[in-house]
Amino acid sequence: MKTKAVSFLYFLTGILYIILRDNPSPWLNTGLKALIMPLLIAILIINFQNSLLSMLMLAALVFSWAGDIILDFSFVKGLICFLLAQVTYLFVFSLTPGSNILFKNKLYLIIPVALYGAGLIMFIYNDLQEMRLAVMVYALVILSMLASAINRLRKVNRLSYWLVLLGAVLFVISDSMIAINKFTLNFWGAEALIMATYVIAQYLIVTGYIRQSADRMV
Give the whole-angstrom CA distance, residue 179 versus residue 129.
13
Closest of 130, 121, 131 to residue 180, by C-alpha: 121
State the pLDDT at residue 48: 87
Please give the pLDDT value at position 1: 63
Maximum separation of any 2 CA atoms in the chain, in Å:
54
As a whole number, mean pLDDT of residues 154-168 equals: 96
Mean pLDDT to the nearest integer, 142-157: 95
**Percentage of the chain with pLDDT > 70?**
96
CA distance 189 to 217: 41
pLDDT surpasses 50 at 140? yes
Please give the torsion angle defined by the CA atoms of residues 193, 196, 198 and 201, in that order, rounded to the nearest 10 degrees. Answer: -120
- Using CB atoms within 10 Å of the CB of residue 48, give its burial: 0 to 12 exposed, 13 to 18 middle, 19+ buried: middle
pLDDT digits (tens, 9 = 90+) for 37-88: 999 999 999 998 888 999 999 999 999 999 999 998 999 999 999 999 999 9
Identity (one letter) of the amino acid at 11? F
* pTM of this structure: 0.93
